[in-house]
A and B are shown apart, each in its own frame.
Chain A
Amino acid sequence: MSNHEYDNTIICRCEDISRAELHKWIDQGLTTVDELKRLTRATMGPCQGRTCRQLILQEIASRTGVPISEAKIPTYRQPLRGITLGAIADMKLDEEGKPHEE
C-alpha cells in the first residue's frame, strides 16, 4: 500500500497522527518507533500505543524495507496506565523515604 490513497488515514488515533505525517518523518530518516514518538507524540495517548504500535511498525517496515522482526522496539515505560499525581503523593513513606512496609 505505497499509494497515496491512505495519506489521510489516521494511524495513531489518540494523538491524531496521519500516515502521511509518519511517512514524512520516516523518509527523513526517523525509522524507529521511539524517534517518531518523540517527534510526533504517536503512541503517547491514553492507549499508550496498544492500538497503533503495530501499525507504525508496519509503516516503518513497508517504507524502509526492513522487516518488523528486525525493528527496534520502543521502550515500555512505567506507568502502563495513567495514575494521578495525588495517588502517588498520598503513598505512605517510612523514615528513609521508602514505601512504608504494611
Chain B
Amino acid sequence: MERKEIVVVGGGPAGLCAALQAARMGAQVTLLEGDDRLGGQLVKQTHMFFGSQKQHAGTRGVDISTMLVKELEQMPNVEIRTNAMVLGRYEDGALTVDDNDQFKVIYPKKAVFATGASEKMLMFANNDMPGVYGAGAVQTLMNVYGVKPADRVLMVGAGNIGLIVSYQLMQAGVQVAAILDAGPRIGGYLVHAAKIRRAGVPILTRHSIKEAVGTDRVTGAVIVQLDEKWQAIPGTEQTIACDAICLAVGLSPFADLFWQAGCDMKFIPELGGHVPARGQDMQTSVEGIYVAGDVGGIEEASSAMVEGYLAGLNAASALGYGGETVQTQRTELETQLNDLRSGPVGEKIRAGLAKLYAE
C-alpha cells in the first residue's frame, strides 16, 4: 500500500495539465495512465489546434502532448506510471491499480480523475461485422501505427471528429464515400466541412445508416433518409459501396470511478450523459475528488487542458501549495475557459454547464 499526495488518473490532455499544474506549485504528484503511453487522444491529433495561443493554437495535438510530457518528465516531484490502470475506488479512499500486472493499493490525499470518454455505438443491422470501426480506432490505426484502415470508408457523423477523421483518411489516400449526419445540419466546424466538400465528398444531413452489407466483412452500407422526428423515411434507402463503416456519433464520459466514489451524478445530454456534479473549483461532491476533461462533459481538448490546470491548481492549493498567486492564476484559468466557451460554438457546452451548476 502506498500513500501519495496528489494522484491524477488519466494521462490525456486534462490529466497531463492537472499533474503539471500541481507539480509546478510544488506538490508531489503521481500520474497513472492505463495505456503504455501518455497523451491520450492528443497523440492521434495530427492537425493543428484552434483556440488561442494559451492553449497552443496552431500546434498539432501530438506536439502539444510531447511538450507537456517532456516538462512533466523533468520534474523531480512527479512520478509517472504508464500501464497503470486504475481498477476501482473504495469507500476508505483507496484506489486499486493494475500497475504493470501488479496489484497495488494507493491512498491519495487528493485525486483528479481525468478518465476521458468512450465512443458511442449505434444500432443498425450487422453492426458487429468486421469493418465497422469507431473513429478513434481508425485514427489510432492511421495516425499512431501508420496502418491504412480501409480503401473506401463511409463516415457516420459530421461532428468535428467525423469531419477531421474523414479529412485525415483522404490525406492517407483512403476514399471517403460519404459522410452522414442524422441532424439537420453539419455539427462540426464549417472550415473542416468546406475542405471535404471541396474535394467532392458528399455530406448528407438527415441521413443515417440502416444496415451494414456483407457476409463476413463489410462490402457496403444501406443508408436512409430521416424525417424531422429522426425516423427513417421508407423508400429512401440507397446502397453505398465501402469496405469500412466508421462511427463518429459522439462520446460518453467514462465516469465509473465517480460512481464508485459515490459522487453526485447528473444526466446532462449536452455534456454527453452522466457527469459528476462539481463546483467551479472542479471538486465533486466528495471532498478531495476533482474532475477534469471529457469525463466531466464532452468538449474540446483545449478546454480539457484548461480544466486540468484548474483542477490541479485547486487540488494543490487545498493542500497548502501555491502561495499568493493562486487566486490570480485561478481567475486567469477561469477566464480562459469562458473565452473558449464563448460564441455560437460554445452554445451547447454553456447550456450543459448551466444545468450542471443549477441546483
Interface residue ranges, A against B (CB under 8 Å): 1, 5-6, 8-11, 13, 19, 50-52, 54-55, 58, 68-69, 73, 75-81, 83-84, 87-88, 90-91, 98-102
With A69-B267, A76-B260, A84-B101 in contact, do A101 and B123 touch (Cβ < 8 Å)? no
Bound CA–CA A58/B256 (angstroms): 19
Distance (whole angstroms) from the CB of B146 to the closest CB of chain A: 26
On whether the beta carbons of A9 and B124 are closer than 8 Å, the reply is: yes
Q: Please, how many angstroms separate the alpha-carbon atoms of A31 and B271 in the complex?
A: 25
A-B contact pairs, 28 of them (CB 8 A): A1-B232, A9-B126, A10-B128, A11-B123, A13-B128, A50-B118, A50-B254, A54-B252, A54-B273, A55-B121, A55-B123, A73-B259, A76-B256, A77-B88, A78-B87, A78-B88, A78-B89, A79-B96, A80-B85, A80-B88, A80-B257, A81-B85, A81-B98, A83-B103, A90-B103, A91-B102, A91-B103, A102-B2
The secondary-structure label for the interface of chain B is: strand
* Across-interface contacts of A55 in B (CB, < 8 A): 121, 123
Residues of B within 8 A of A (CB): 1-3, 34, 85-90, 96, 98, 101-105, 118, 120-121, 123-128, 232, 252, 254, 256-257, 259-260, 265, 267, 269, 273-274
Measured between beta carbons, the chain A residues less than 8 angstroms from B254 are 50
Query: Please, which residue of chain A has its CB at the minimum distance from the CB of B232?
Result: A1
Tell me how far the C-beta of B227 lies from the nearest C-beta in chain A, rounded to whole angstroms: 13
- If A6-B123, A54-B273, A87-B102 are given as contacts, then 5 extra A-B residue pairs at C-beta distance below 8 Å, sorted by A number, are A13-B128, A78-B260, A80-B257, A99-B105, A100-B1
> A36: shortest Cβ distance to chain B, in Å?
15
Q: Which residues of A lie under 8 Å from residue B232 when comparing CB positions? A: 1
Q: A13: which B residues are within 8 A, CB to CB?
A: 128
| Contact partners of B104 in chain A: CB under 8 A | 91
Residues of B within 8 A of A52 (CB): 121
Partner of B88 from A1, A8, A79, A84 at Cβ < 8 Å: A79
A residues less than 8 Å from B260 (CB atoms): 76-78
Contact A83 B1 (CB under 8 A): no
Q: Which residues of B contact A69 (CB under 8 A)?
A: 267, 269
User: Chain A's nearest CB lies how many Å from the CB of B166?
Assistant: 22
Of A6, A68, A80, A100, which contacts B124 at CB under 8 A?
Answer: A6
Contacts of A100 in B (CB 8 A): 1
Inside 8 A of A5's CB, which chain B residues have their CB? 125
Complex contacts, B101 vs chain A, CB 8 Å:
84, 87
For residue B127, give the distance in angstroms from its CB to the closest CB of chain A: 6
B87 and A83 contacting across the interface, CB-CB below 8 Å: yes
Chain A residues, CB < 8 A from B273: 54
Q: List B contacts of A80 (CB < 8 A).
A: 85-88, 256-257
The residue among B90, B118, B123, B256 with the most chain A CB atoms within 10 A of its own CB is B123
CA distance A60 to B87 in the complex (A): 28
A1, chain B: closest CB distance, angstroms: 7
List the 3 shortest-distance A-B pairs measured between CB atoms, nearest first.
A78-B88, A99-B1, A79-B87
A101/B87 contact (C-beta < 8 A), A9-B123, A9-B124, A73-B274 known: no
Which chain B residue has the least Cβ–Cβ distance from A94? B1
Chain B residues with Cβ under 8 A from A76's Cβ? 256, 259-260
- Chain A neighbourhood of B89, CB < 8 A: 78
A85, closest chain B residue (CB): B103
Taking the closest CB of chain A, its distance from the CB of B149, in whole angstroms, is 18
Contacts of A77 in B (CB 8 A): 88, 260
Inter-chain contact B125/A51, CB cutoff 8 Å:
no
Q: For the complex, what is the distance from the CA of A88 to the CA of B123, rounded to whole Å?
A: 37
Chain B residues with CB under 8 A of A54 = 120-121, 252, 273
- State A50–B12 Cα separation when bound (angstroms): 18
Chain A proximity of B229: nearest CB distance (Å): 12
Residues in A whose Cβ lies below 8 Å from that of B96: 78-79
Nearest A residue to B274 via CB reads A73
- Report Cα–Cα, A52/B87, bound state, in Å: 20
Contact A10 B127 (CB under 8 A): yes
Nearest CB in chain B: distance from A3 CB, A: 9
